[in-house]
Amino acid sequence: MMKYKNPNESVNIRVEDLISRMTLEEKIGQMLQIERKYASNGVLKKYFIGSVLSEGGSIPAPKASAENWIDMLNEFQKDALSTRLGIPMFYGIDAVHGHSSVYKATIFPHNIGLGATRDPELVKRIGAATALEVRATGIQYVYAPCVAVCRDPRWGRCYESYSEDPKVVQAMTELISGLQGDIPDNMPNGVPFIAGKEKVIGCAKHYVGDGGTTNGIDESNTVIDRDEMMRIHMPGYYSSISKGVATIMVSYSSWNGVKMHANHDLVTGYLKNTLQFQGFVISDFEGIDRITSPFRANCTYSVLAGVSAGIDMFMVPKFYNEFIDELTMLVKNEFIPMSRIDDAVRRILRVKFMMGIFENPFADYSLVKYLGFKEHRELAREAVRKSMVLLKNGKSAEKPLLPLPKKVPKILVAGSHANNLGYQCGGWTVEWQGISGNDNLEGTTILTAVKNTVDSETIVIYEENPDIEFVESNEFSYAIVVVGEHPYAEMHGDNMNLTIPNPGPETITNVCGAIKCVVIIISGRPLVIEPYIGLIDAVVAGWLPGSEGQGVADVLFGDYGFTGKLPRTWFKSVDQLPMNVGDPHYDPLFPFGFGLSTKPTKAIYSQ
């Protein structure tokens, strides 16, 4: 038996044995991750491809079942195993708040909401639940967690960041221990660790400084000195590496004008050599194509710069032929040394051996029951209630509005976000940019949650955008208004004004101008609310809670108390941005760490 096929040999011996048998062509194939749409018809066998991925919203069929996913993955795996050396492939997907591309999966709150919980142990349990749901579909690799430190809420990825504070971000890297398993005490620092077939490969991203770009413009330039980079944006990587994170993804952004995908100093010099990271470094989607401006202007240069910087695996969804040709030419003409190729392949194979995929290459149906599992939905509901941040409670402290009474004659629920699961979940849900409506998701809207929670005799009227006359003439005891942002992801979410989209402000004014109201803001970041704050009795930052809206009702009606704390500063006006805790001109509407608390009540019948 060849040593690399012997599970009793050490990982290092297996890796070295396999590398010694590989041709340049086979090595370059391992360095590629291609999109599923371009991976069929024997492509993996022909080019020795090491990995396949789903881009945002790329699925085998509409409303595909766990079994559909497994069948697709196993077809790809057969292809990979039919090569000369039989090196298995693994499959990657964006499971950034649960297995969010997959129909019927549990959708957890986005990271900004988890940051508000200040509960790393909860986040670890979410990691473990996500790993099970991902493995339920046969997939072994997730591009999570995002350990960005968002310093400007105008950035379209701000909701993927746990906090503006690097310490909170560090604490939340507990997600990795949930995804991959707890790293044993005797493991040397920097070694990737995956604890078996109920766990997945994690990925800390986006290395490094993605949350610090000028004006929060996605993929742009972070202009800070090295000390600031190390103090603000690097700590999340220290924690991730110490927890055995298997992969790290490079950022599209630049640091002081140098593209991270071409930054040898930070990728090889600092991450690999100084921090001793032993897993593999992966590019972002078409990341090397963006080294040049315009996109793909010089492919030879882009491959040379990316490989030389120290990137090991390349997300080249479509134009993999060109990558293979360019890299082969660069190695044969000695622009790139064979030692750099061997470093890349060694790291990729180390992760493959570590995860046990040589022994268990095929997915089976034994875990399909974990997709949308009831206990995971309960966990998501717990995360929702712990993530709610109470910003205002009553026109005066002596007269709090929350918790709301369950038994009253009639209440109004209003707003664009009260009955829309897609809006509740935000971007990276079903599709890359997210969706609207309740058709392609399983879960509980906030409206349904309210109806589930109030007394059976309480009448709940839902009117999305009521006029003043309707509000005044109906004798409502109080109103719950749910408004906020429409879903977005990445650069599509960059936003320079951060106002509540219409008709949200009108809904707030019409309702809260007439009757007692609580406003719940569903958003990926703080929004402009200062003009309305005086009008509103109570305000809740609801973030992007995901599929389990019952968690919102849990705290509104006092079954549980409010405990969430702001993971980022709530500004008065966008003219103040960027403004983060500790800045000399710090003058927030609500400061970092703010959050009122309430006590759970047994039952409130009148008010």
- How high is the mean pLDDT of the chain? 97
Rounded mean pLDDT, 554-564: 98
Of 544, 547, 482, the C-alpha closest to 518 is: 482
Residue type, 67: E
**Are residues 405 and 331 part of one domain?**
no
pLDDT grade for 476, boundaries at 50, 70 and 90: very high
List the Cα angle 130/562/167 in 5-degree steps. 60
**How many CB atoms neighbour CB 123 within 10 A?**
25
Taking only the tens place, the pLDDT of each residue in 227-283 is 999 999 999 999 999 999 999 999 999 999 999 999 999 999 999 999 999 999 999
Domain count for the chain, please give it: 2
Question: Is 383 inside a domain boundary?
Answer: no
Q: How confident is the model at residue 606 (pLDDT cuts 50, 70, 90)?
A: very low
For residue 397, pLDDT beyond 90: no
* Residues 90/357, Cβ–Cβ less than 8 Å: yes
Q: What is the CATH number of the domain that holds 321?
A: 3.20.20.300
Give the pLDDT confidence of 70-117 residue by residue, as tens digits.
999 999 999 999 999 999 999 999 999 999 999 999 999 999 999 999
pTM score of the predicted model: 0.98
Question: Which member of 26, 152, 431, 490 is catalytic?
Answer: 490
Q: Tell which of 370, 399, 420 closes a domain.
A: 370
**278 to each of 190, 232, 526, how far by Cα in Å?**
5, 23, 37
Answer yes or no: is 382 within a domain: no
457: CATH: 3.40.50.1700
Task: Among 343, 370, 397, identify where a domain stops.
Answer: 370
pLDDT exceeds cutoff 50 at 605: no
DSSP secondary structure of 142-181: E---B------TTSTTGGGSS-SSHHHHHHHTHHHHHHH-
Percentage of the chain surpassing pLDDT 70? 99
The predicted structure's pLDDT at residue 71: 98
Tell me the pLDDT tens digit for each residue of 483-502.
Answer: 999 999 999 999 999 999 99
Give mean pLDDT, residues 186-202: 96
Q: Is 123 part of a structural domain of the chain?
A: yes
Give the distance, in angstroms, between the CA of residue 19 and the centroid of all CA atoms in the same chain: 34
- Paired residues of 465 in beta bridges: none
- On whether both 510 and 414 belong to a single domain, the answer is yes
Which residue of the set 219, 284, 382, 548 is catalytic? Answer: 284
Q: Tell me the pLDDT band of 359, cut-offs 50, 70 and 90.
A: very high
Domain that holds residue 462: 388-576
Q: Is the dihedral of CA 245, 174, 428, 257 positive or negative?
A: negative
Q: Is the pLDDT of residue 12 over 80?
A: yes
pLDDT in tens, 517-531: 999 999 999 999 999
Same domain, 498 and 536: yes
Based on the residue annotation, tell me whether 490 is a catalytic residue of this protein: yes
* DSSP category for residue 407: -
pLDDT of 317 over the 90 cut: yes
Evaluate whether residue 209 is within a structural domain.
yes
pLDDT-based confidence at residue 607 (cuts at 50, 70, 90): very low
Q: Are residues 504 and 442 in the same domain?
A: yes
Residues 362 and 428 in one domain: no
**Does the pLDDT of residue 48 top 80, yes or no?**
yes
Tell whether the model's pLDDT for residue 349 goes beyond 90. yes
Q: Considering the domain boundaries, does residue 459 fall inside one?
A: yes
Decide if 431 is catalytic.
no
pLDDT tens-digit series, residues 566-598: 999 999 999 999 999 999 999 999 999 999 999
Task: Please give the average per-residue pLDDT across 430-456, as a whole number.
Answer: 98
